[in-house]
Chains A and B, each alone.
Chain A
């Protein structure tokens, strides 16, 4: 009989298929040929004939081989057995592993949900932070070649201290420099408060800008046209409104161009265009809430001499270095200075400096954002460590399964791959939950943020944010998967299999402890950060402002325009009288600018007192504010009739003017300023801060001059019962004229707005701290639980030898808390060492104050003790008899 197997084998030799597969094919084909041979013999053929017939049927063996080769090269469809070699088919192996991971996780749903949720917390915090800081820190500004745009500022030589705004001549002259394309100016957002119809009181805030602002920034209007030089020269009152204002207030009206905004009932301004959605209104006092640009026709077109109210933006020519432009500007400024009168003695040397646009807009916020980013990264680290410890615990509890797979021929690499994929599945699920939560809360979350963050935050479904989340999740999965993988590589098959058959798991969890140390160390840093932020905020809130905000109301009254200043003055005095008669008002006064609302924007005090501020006030103002009278008297209504003759100094100003005098000695003395008649000091009052975070301002309070009587009033009433704007409006309407607007704001509300940044930092750090605390507690609980399971027999033995449940509980808690205490110690040392870099973020507290660390340590230890106590209690309830029987 022919040797079919040999013949087939010789033909298959060139095929290079898997030996197992080759053996199968060989056997199957040999059987077939054998059957065919026997059939031919039964049909009457001789052996020789049958053999020849079969050879004929084989035909050209080459064709058979070609066909077979093609088939064997097709992708395998067979499911891949656990432990099989995967080298040739990575994708299907990956898909298989993914399915296995999902299936295996779905078998322990509580573990999966817990792990995914805790990870979601960590990654959610990071995605939220990234979406807010990305625009400010990492994205290019939405302008054409933003690297060519600089702000021109006036600085004290050799320092970073700005020195007011720049002279107009600097701007008009620098526009002609060879390194400069053009120079524009943009100003305060509050410069224009307009409304969309003459009787609407909701203000629209516009940034004043020169006609060439958009061209300097390289931006085209989304709708309509840009300002032109002719607009400025012809004093054509026009505005470009923001995209958001157009979409919101004007419902995307197609006929928006040509419509009007109103400065007052008789003062319309034409809307000539809509700004693009991404436009950030760069301005002197960067205001994210600006609703657009209003054409400023003074500055560039008419080029009046004097100081600009704004800081100019300069676009450099492409190919020009900033150093070259700076050198050119230095020469120009030196030249201009020589044409001006010499500065007063004692004035510091002033230089012009070009500052990159991004620094001028976000520079002040950048350190905060970096701090927040760093803290968020720490939270992610804790989340990773937590995921790693959960996976480690899970891996340990399924060690026997891994051992079985190893025994069946799976490579360690395959096992690691499976473990990593499980980690990936959990982190991706967590990321998905986190993103979903952020997308769901969307605007709600952003409302909690200060405008600087919320206005520029990208939504959770933004491409970059999603890409960041995917990247962070993948890295986290790798990081969290490494330790469980290393553990797998050291698995002792025989030992693990023996345990499977024999006594159950024993021993201790090693890797988990180092993870706990890491988690505790990072958590303590975050909890300490939260404690510092909270203490800083409490410190701020307890700051003595120098006045009493409780019960203080800011009242703004806009009267219709009057030509005669004397009439206006009398009208304002009448308004003040009506305000004083208003129900609930104890005292009231007015000021040109109040220290609280305007911050440090009062008039300079004059020679010799350059750092101070001069406030023009009426009688009753100091009483209404609740400022403390240290000595002398406050203003009375008679003082208003001769505003040049008297003044009231704050304590700080007194120390600047007459350092040697006590308050009582200063009262009655004459104060002299160049160009002014001597002024008698009639009283000394407490120092006032414009908000919780700023230093007190050395101040001189003088009677308001008739021309400066504005619309700002301060009234003292009861904290709980708000003053009625409607009642005041009726009174004014009845006695004086129909007011354009009457608004009453409670001062503490204004003050708390100023605290938004600090409150936000505190809220953020508290969130970080709580998340870290929760993650550390979950990680500890998981590790402690496994430890209890693994040491059941040991505990049983201890109890049978006389240990009480109390002993067992204490033992377990002591052993689990060991790594936490080590971590806390390491974390405190690390935080203490790095805290000096964060000192500038906190007010009134020393970042190295031991109380902070003590508080943080106590909080962390209480939380983790609780987490350790639950498994320890379970350990103490072990029935020693049951355990020993198992042994």
Chain B
């Protein structure tokens, strides 16, 4: 989930938190206590990379971007997720048919 959110552009932690909440319509929520250990873990695994970025007139923020390794993992996970969802769909559709 997090990997796909930063696939297009680097984002900071709070932004990621908000995006998850928005896109899930409030169903999935991350708070500080759960989000950051997760981000650090992904970073340790080498899937994402955090970097402090300073913009004019703003305080510096830590932006996370997807690494090449992360991109590979994301592709694999998407494929796995799609297969899973397809399987569920086929099962549930069969029940209704």
Q: A residues touching B (Cβ–Cβ < 8 Å)?
A: 24-25, 27-29, 31-33, 35-36, 57-59, 61, 63-64, 67-68, 70-72, 74-77
The contact string, 1 if C-beta is below 8 Å from chain A, for chain B 12-44, is 111001000000000000011111110011001
| CB-nearest residue of chain B to A77 | B46
Asked if B37 contacts A68 (CB within 8 A), the reply is: yes
Asked if A61 contacts B59 (CB within 8 A), the reply is: no
Which of A35, A63, A77 meets B44, CB within 8 Å?
A77
Asked if B36 contacts A29 (CB within 8 A), the reply is: yes
A58 with B40: in contact, given A28-B62, A32-B17 (CB under 8 Å)?
Answer: no
The contact string, 1 if C-beta is below 8 Å from chain A, for chain B 72-89, is 000000000000000000
Asked if B37 contacts A64 (CB within 8 A), the reply is: yes
| CB-nearest residue of chain B to A74 | B44
Which of B33, B40, B59 meets A57, CB within 8 Å?
B33
The contact string, 1 if C-beta is below 8 Å from chain A, for chain B 33-70, is 11111001100111000001000000101100000000
Asked if B31 contacts A67 (CB within 8 A), the reply is: no
| CB-nearest residue of chain B to A54 | B32
Cβ contacts under 8 Å, A74 to chain B: 41, 44-45
- Additional A-B contacts beyond A58-B31, A71-B37, A72-B40 (7; CB < 8 A): A29-B32, A33-B32, A36-B14, A57-B31, A57-B33, A67-B37, A74-B45
Which of B32, B44, B52 meets A32, CB within 8 Å?
B32
- Chain B CB count within 10 A is highest, among A31, A36, A71, for A71
Cβ contacts under 8 Å, A67 to chain B: 33-34, 37
Q: B residues touching A (Cβ–Cβ < 8 Å)?
A: 12-14, 17, 31-37, 40-41, 44-46, 52, 59, 61-62
| CB-nearest residue of chain A to B42 | A71
| CB-nearest residue of chain B to A58 | B33
Which of A27, A58, A70, A77 meets B32, CB within 8 Å?
A58
CA distance A36 to B33 in the complex (A): 13
> Which are the 5 A-B pairs with shortest beta-carbon distances?
A67-B37, A64-B33, A57-B31, A74-B44, A77-B46
B74 to chain A, nearest CB (A): 17
Cβ contacts under 8 Å, A29 to chain B: 32, 36
Cβ contacts under 8 Å, A75 to chain B: 44
Cβ contacts under 8 Å, A61 to chain B: 33
Cβ contacts under 8 Å, A72 to chain B: 40
Asked if A59 contacts B59 (CB within 8 A), the reply is: no
Which of B13, B44, B52 meets A71, CB within 8 Å?
B44
CA distance A29 to B37 in the complex (A): 11
Cβ contacts under 8 Å, B33 to chain A: 57-59, 61, 63-64, 67
A278 to chain B, nearest CB (A): 51
CA distance A820 to B70 in the complex (A): 60
| CB-nearest residue of chain A to B29 | A57
CA distance A33 to B32 in the complex (A): 8
Which of A32, A57, A58, A68 meets B13, CB within 8 Å?
A32
| CB-nearest residue of chain A to B47 | A77
**Taking chain B's interface residues, is the majority helix, strand, or loop, or is none over half, making it mixed?**
helix
Which of B44, B46, B59 meets A31, CB within 8 Å?
B59
Cβ contacts under 8 Å, A36 to chain B: 14, 32
Cβ contacts under 8 Å, A58 to chain B: 31-33
B1 to chain A, nearest CB (A): 17
CA distance A74 to B37 in the complex (A): 12
Cβ contacts under 8 Å, B12 to chain A: 31
Cβ contacts under 8 Å, A33 to chain B: 32
Cβ contacts under 8 Å, B61 to chain A: 31
- Chain A CB count within 10 A is highest, among B12, B14, B59, for B14
| CB-nearest residue of chain B to A66 | B37
Cβ contacts under 8 Å, B32 to chain A: 29, 32-33, 36, 57-58, 64
A25 with B36: in contact, given A31-B59, A31-B61, A35-B14 (CB under 8 Å)?
Answer: yes
Cβ contacts under 8 Å, A71 to chain B: 37, 40-41, 44
| CB-nearest residue of chain B to A64 | B33
CA distance A29 to B65 in the complex (A): 18
CA distance A198 to B45 in the complex (A): 76
Sample 28 A-B pairs with CB under 8 A, ordered by A number.
Answer: A25-B36, A25-B40, A27-B62, A31-B13, A31-B59, A31-B61, A32-B13, A32-B17, A32-B32, A32-B35, A36-B14, A36-B32, A57-B32, A57-B33, A58-B31, A58-B33, A59-B33, A61-B33, A67-B34, A68-B36, A68-B37, A70-B37, A71-B37, A71-B41, A72-B40, A75-B44, A76-B44, A77-B44
Cβ contacts under 8 Å, B44 to chain A: 71, 74-77
A30 to chain B, nearest CB (A): 10
| CB-nearest residue of chain A to B40 | A71
CA distance A25 to B37 in the complex (A): 10
B82 to chain A, nearest CB (A): 28
B89 to chain A, nearest CB (A): 34
Cβ contacts under 8 Å, A68 to chain B: 36-37, 40
CA distance A24 to B44 in the complex (A): 15
CA distance A74 to B33 in the complex (A): 18
B5 to chain A, nearest CB (A): 16
Cβ contacts under 8 Å, B36 to chain A: 25, 28-29, 32, 68
A28 with B41: in contact, given A57-B31, A61-B33, A77-B46 (CB under 8 Å)?
Answer: no
CA distance A67 to B35 in the complex (A): 10
CA distance A58 to B45 in the complex (A): 25
A523 to chain B, nearest CB (A): 51
| CB-nearest residue of chain A to B37 | A67
Cβ contacts under 8 Å, A25 to chain B: 36, 40
| CB-nearest residue of chain A to B31 | A57
Cβ contacts under 8 Å, A76 to chain B: 44
CA distance A25 to B46 in the complex (A): 18
B47 to chain A, nearest CB (A): 10
Which of A28, A64, A77 meets B45, CB within 8 Å?
A77
CA distance A796 to B23 in the complex (A): 75
CA distance A35 to B52 in the complex (A): 17
| CB-nearest residue of chain B to A61 | B33
CA distance A139 to B45 in the complex (A): 49
B34 to chain A, nearest CB (A): 8
Cβ contacts under 8 Å, A64 to chain B: 32-34, 37
CA distance A468 to B12 in the complex (A): 55
| CB-nearest residue of chain A to B46 | A77
B46 to chain A, nearest CB (A): 4
Cβ contacts under 8 Å, B59 to chain A: 31
CA distance A77 to B42 in the complex (A): 11
CA distance A677 to B43 in the complex (A): 108
Asked if A24 contacts B62 (CB within 8 A), the reply is: yes
B37 to chain A, nearest CB (A): 3
CA distance A63 to B62 in the complex (A): 23
Cβ contacts under 8 Å, A63 to chain B: 33
- Chain A CB count within 10 A is highest, among B34, B37, B46, B62, for B37
A707 to chain B, nearest CB (A): 92
CA distance A24 to B64 in the complex (A): 14
CA distance A77 to B40 in the complex (A): 12
Asked if B14 contacts A31 (CB within 8 A), the reply is: yes
A91 to chain B, nearest CB (A): 16
CA distance A77 to B44 in the complex (A): 6
CA distance A70 to B36 in the complex (A): 12
| CB-nearest residue of chain B to A60 | B33
| CB-nearest residue of chain A to B17 | A32
Cβ contacts under 8 Å, B52 to chain A: 24
A2 to chain B, nearest CB (A): 13
Asked if B31 contacts A28 (CB within 8 A), the reply is: no
CA distance A77 to B43 in the complex (A): 8
Asked if B37 contacts A59 (CB within 8 A), the reply is: no
CA distance A68 to B45 in the complex (A): 14
| CB-nearest residue of chain A to B49 | A78
CA distance A59 to B33 in the complex (A): 7
A88 to chain B, nearest CB (A): 14
A27 to chain B, nearest CB (A): 8
Asked if B14 contacts A32 (CB within 8 A), the reply is: yes
Cβ contacts under 8 Å, A59 to chain B: 31, 33
| CB-nearest residue of chain A to B67 | A77
A210 to chain B, nearest CB (A): 72
